[in-house]
Amino acid sequence: MVDEEIYWQDVLDDIRSGRTSALKCPFCQLQTLAVSKRERVTQVACQNKACRHYIEVGFGEQSDEDMLYDAKPIQVGGKP
């Protein structure tokens, strides 16, 4: 596990429990996170230009109801 993933755990927990708005970025502490889904990948990206941290997680292959349990971070990034 990458260190950065640890920072995202609280956010991922929120998303798992169905919360996808007003999420606070664990890096800049602003509520600037945007959640977007494509296929089975959910991307959470900070919209703060000075921060730009993001994480992409795969929520598994179950149906939409169950997919929120098994989040596997597949990529993290941030300001270079």
The residues that touch Zn ion, with contacts defined as CB under 5 A, are 25, 27-28, 46, 48, 51
Distance CA 12, CA 76 (A): 13
Of residues 30 and 41, the one with the C-beta less far from Zn ion: 30
| Least distance between Zn ion and beta carbon 65 (Å) | 30
Tokens of 47: 């919209």
- The pair of structure tokens assigned to 53 is 């941290």
Complex with Zn ion: residue 12 or 46, whichever CB lies closer: 46
Whichever of 32 and 59 has its CB closer to Zn ion, that residue is: 32
Q: Which amino acid is at 20?
A: T
